[in-house]
């Protein structure tokens, strides 16, 4: 009798776990689905690289996500970027932000209308006016190309340096 009950219970468990395994949980995002108060943190080798916060993420298509009220914190660099909106492409992992962009660091601020992050090249570009304002300088250019190591302002660059 003990053997029969054990086989019966084993059969029920096997049936239950087999049924559970066949059911695939997933979230189906349709056009204009959204999530509020999104926060994404990237860590590499246990080190906090950046955190992206957005008031709302709206799924425009399977690939495009519109972000509203964007804030990106880069703790290693001491830089916080804010903008009104952004567009994230899930396939390429590229991000463009626009509208009242301000990147604030300890010694300078970057003000721009639109910035584009190319994930593959690890590069930030802008074909719009970019202004870098420090305590002792103000530099403006019509185009930006920047990597982790250097930033170049191009086209109609104007710089003002303030003395002591």
- Where residue 26 falls among pLDDT bands split at 50, 70, 90? low
- Where residue 23 falls among pLDDT bands split at 50, 70, 90? very low
Query: Which residue pairs, CB below 8 angstroms and at least 24 apart, start in 28-34?
Result: 29/59, 29/62, 30/59, 31/59, 31/60, 31/61, 32/58, 32/59, 32/60, 33/58, 33/59, 34/58, 34/59
Residue 6 has pLDDT above 80, yes or no: no
Interval 41-81: pLDDT, tens? 888 888 888 888 999 999 888 888 999 999 988 888 888 88
Query: Among 41-45, 106-110, 148-152, 153-157, which stretch is predicted with the lowest mean pLDDT?
Result: 148-152
pTM of the full structure: 0.72
For the chain, domain boundaries = 33-161
Q: Rounded mean pLDDT of the chain? A: 81
pLDDT of the residue at 1: 47
Say which CATH superfamily domain 33-161 falls into: Lipopolysaccharide (LPS) transport protein A like domain (2.60.450.10)
Q: Compare 76 and 3 and report the one with higher pLDDT.
A: 76
pLDDT of the residue at 25: 45
The whole-number average pLDDT for the span 109-130 is 88
The whole-number average pLDDT for the span 112-118 is 89
pLDDT of the residue at 24: 45
| Backbone phi and psi for residue 139, each to the nearest 5 degrees, phi listed first | -125, 135
Shortest CA distance to 73 belongs to which of 43, 99, 111, 93?
43
Residue 104 has pLDDT above 70, yes or no: yes
| Cα–Cα dist 83/20, whole Å | 43
Residue 18 has pLDDT above 70, yes or no: no
| Cα–Cα dist 85/55, whole Å | 10
First to last CA, the chain: 95
The whole-number average pLDDT for the span 93-105 is 89
pLDDT of the residue at 120: 84
């Amino acid at each position: 009798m003990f053997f029969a009950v054990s086989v019966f219970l084993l059969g029920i468990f096997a049936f239950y776990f087999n049924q559970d395994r066949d059911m695939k949980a997933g979230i189906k995002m349709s056009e204009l689905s959204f999530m509020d108060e999104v926060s994404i943190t990237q860590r590499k080798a246990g080190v906090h690289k950046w955190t992206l916060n957005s008031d709302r993420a709206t799924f425009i298509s399977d690939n495009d996500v519109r972000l509203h009220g964007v804030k990106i914190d880069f703790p290693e660099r001491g830089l916080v970027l804010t903008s009104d909106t952004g567009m994230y492409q899930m396939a390429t992992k590229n991000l463009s932000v626009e509208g009242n962009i301000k990147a604030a660091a300890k010694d300078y601020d970057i003000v721009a209308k639109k910035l584009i992050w190319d994930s593959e090249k690890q590069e930030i570009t802008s074909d719009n006016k970019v202004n870098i304002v420090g305590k002792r300088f103000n530099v403006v250019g019509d185009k930006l190309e920047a990597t982790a190591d250097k930033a170049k302002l191009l086209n109609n660059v104007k710089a003002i340096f303030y003395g002591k």
